[in-house]
Amino acid sequence: CGSGLSGDYISDEGHYWIGMDISPAMLEVAVEREVEGDLLLADVGHGIPFRPGMFDGCISISAVQWLCNADKKSHSPPKRLYRFFSTLYTALAQGSRAVLQLYPENSEQLELITAQAMRAGFTGGMVVDYPNSAKAKKFFLCLFVGVSGTLPKGLGTDCAGGEEIHQAKFTNERTRFRNTKGKSVKKSRDWILEKKERRRRQGKEVRADTKYTGRKRRPRF
């Protein structure tokens, strides 16, 4: 889960989440950012340490390919991948999905990851966005638990009759918290009140709401 940037979006959508990461430094950043999710220091190659059927879904961004590396003599990439996928399958509820975005080094690595996922009981497959672009190309392993679902269509795959493939647009501008869906803009009073209420429902200690909550401070002299 790194520093929890993706977790912020999950929280804004009204979901509860638990993040795992092998790096204490990244989790410390997440704690400093006061992310809403619970954090766990763990190596996913050792498995997902939760009770069966606990989660409604799983999201992973640029992490699974690291299980293909043997950082220690005791590390076996096929065994670590199978351990990860088999325990993930158990932790997910029936009918749920897992979407794992990854950057495989080669086709052999991609085949190894997919094979271990299917061996663990998952159904599904690989979806590739912008397959003809070196910069925007992304791989998504879309997995289903219990029932076979329909794989989504990769972006930028339509190219009929000489139509131009629209590539992803990259920009340095951050637009995640624009009020495009009528939701509270980040750091506004409404956004702060919503966040405090979610933290209360999670049983966390939160300061009482006052007329000063969310009020901007005047600039110092």
The C-alpha angle with vertex 61 and arms to 57 and 67, in degrees rounded to 5, equals 100
Phi, psi dihedrals of residue 57, rounded to the nearest 5°: 180, 170
What 8-state DSSP symbol labels residue 221? Answer: -
Task: Say which range, 41-55, 76-90, 164-178, 204-218, has the weakest mean pLDDT.
Answer: 164-178
The C-alpha angle with vertex 75 and arms to 17 and 116, in degrees rounded to 5, equals 60
Q: How far apart are CA 156 and CA 136, in angstroms?
A: 10
Residues of the chain above pLDDT 90, percent: 53
What is the pTM assigned to this prediction? 0.71
What pLDDT score does 184 carry?
A: 60
- Complete edge-to-edge strand list for the sheet that includes strand 55-61: 55-61, 92-102, 138-144, 123-129
Class for the domain spanning 43-181: alpha beta
Q: In the chain, which segments carry CATH 3.40.50.150?
A: 43-181
Question: What are 40-93's pLDDT values in tens digits?
Answer: 999 999 999 999 999 999 999 999 999 998 777 778 999 999 999 999 999 999
Q: How far apart are CA 102 and CA 114, in angstroms?
A: 11
What pLDDT score does 221 carry?
A: 65
Q: Where are the alpha helices (DSSP H) in the chain?
A: 5-12, 24-32, 77-91, 107-119, 189-201
Considering 96-100, 149-153, 181-185, the range whose residues carry the highest mean pLDDT is 96-100
